[in-house]
Amino acid sequence: MTEKAKILIGPAGTGGSKLEIFKNLKEKGLNAVEIEFVHSIWMIKEDAIKIAELNKKLDLKLSIHAPYYINLNSQEKAKIGASRSRILKCLEIGTYLGAKYVVFHPGFYQKISKEDTYKKIREQIEKIMQEAKDKHYTPQLAPETTGKPSQFGDLDELIKLKKETGCSICVDFSHLRARYNGKINYDEVMEKLSHLHEHIHSHFSGIEYTAKGERRHLITQEEDIKELFKYLNKYKIDCTIINESPDPFGDAIKMKELL
């Protein structure tokens, strides 16, 4: 029998900090959940500690999505500083929570070259990682592949960033599809991921896009799920998949059943 990839599945978002939410995820057979701080960092330390204590029994793979209001390539120093502060706050809560990753969109190219953007974002990530180390924060930084060509974050950039800084990455397969106008070469993507020799944190959903890239997330279609699983198994890519559709809980269960 051909060995298959180890794939863990869960939804983006919990709708709150109640312990019953996390128990329900486990009861439904899901393995992971990403806490969504995309509009604000709403979880308090005390609740994070309670969830972490419960999760010793549940063993859900926890991650955090940092606020959308992050741009480590801003022309304004104050905005870069605010972006770093938001990421560090997520790392702090993630430490109490026992989260493995803090996922974030690194920034925009704006009027700067791709090379200079890369250097600036790498410098900021190194600063964040040093401060996180000084404060004994435990989650890994996971910059995410982004869905628009105007955004920093194609797969090659993030793999290079990982190799040069030691950060982790989040591979959003739907964003990659949207970024290249629907043309995702799964063989090429999986080949690159296989060279990392590690468990991959990822996102998936249906996606609507234009020539400018991502427009919005859609319900995940069965044929798209099967296609993703096919290539993950072909290249034996162990990964956690967080579903980000408009119905992340329902679609995560759909993915689990298809798996």
Domain range summary for the chain, segments of one domain joined by + = 7-258
The rounded radius of gyration (Å) of the Cα atoms in the chain is: 17
Provide DSSP, 87-112: HHHHHHHHHHHT-SEEEE---B-TTS
Identify whether the C-beta of residue 203 lies closer than 8 Å to the C-beta of residue 158. Answer: no
pLDDT for 67 beyond 70: yes
Identify whether the C-beta of residue 142 lies closer than 8 Å to the C-beta of residue 125. Answer: no
Count CA atoms closer than 13 A to 207's CA, side-chain side.
28
CATH value of 7-258 in 3.40.50.620, 3.90.1150.10, 2.60.40.10, 3.20.20.150: 3.20.20.150
pTM score: 0.96
Per residue in 143-173, pLDDT (tens digit) is 999 999 999 999 999 999 999 999 999 999 9
Alpha helices by DSSP H, 4-113: 19-27, 45-58, 77-97
Q: Which residues contact 191 (CB under 8 A, 6 or more apart)?
A: 235
C-alpha to C-alpha distance for 219 and 221, rounded to whole angstroms: 6
pLDDT for 91 beyond 90: yes
Identify whether the C-beta of residue 12 lies closer than 8 Å to the C-beta of residue 203. Answer: yes
pLDDT for 232 beyond 50: yes
